[in-house]
Amino acid sequence: MGDKKEKEEQEKGFVVKDKRFSAQKEGGEDPQIKEEAKREHPEETVSEEDAPLPEIDFTNFILSLSTSALIQLGLIQDPATNQVTKYLPLAKQTIDLIGMLKEKTRGNLNPEEERLIENILYDLRMRYVKASS
């Protein structure tokens, strides 16, 4: 009889319970943790979940790439580091990427999108020449 009980216990194995998240409510965050985060970082009062995101479309994608190129050209502050840094090889690559998108999407863009990508490319190329000289 003792052998049977031992076999059952061996077959059961063990259960691992992660108690790190036990304080969280289902579908939400622990209010205490949220308050501590607010006290540690008061400048971040709006959570990323609450911030409205822009619509996903070709125009916003190109504008996002353009902003990245401006950061890489050292013309605007990097929001991640709050510093202005210039990295021209990466800026050139981003500008070339936008140029490639213009070529690959030729004939598939509406007139407004075509004007936007042409104007952005012209502006970024001129700024690159100025930054590299």
Could you give the 3-state DSSP secondary structure of residue 118? helix
pTM of this prediction exceeds 0.75 = no
Alpha helices for 1-133 (secondary structure H): 2-12, 31-40, 58-72, 88-104, 111-132
For 10-37, what is each residue's pLDDT tens digit? 565 555 555 554 444 445 555 555 555 5
For 99-121, what is each residue's pLDDT tens digit? 999 999 999 999 999 999 999 99
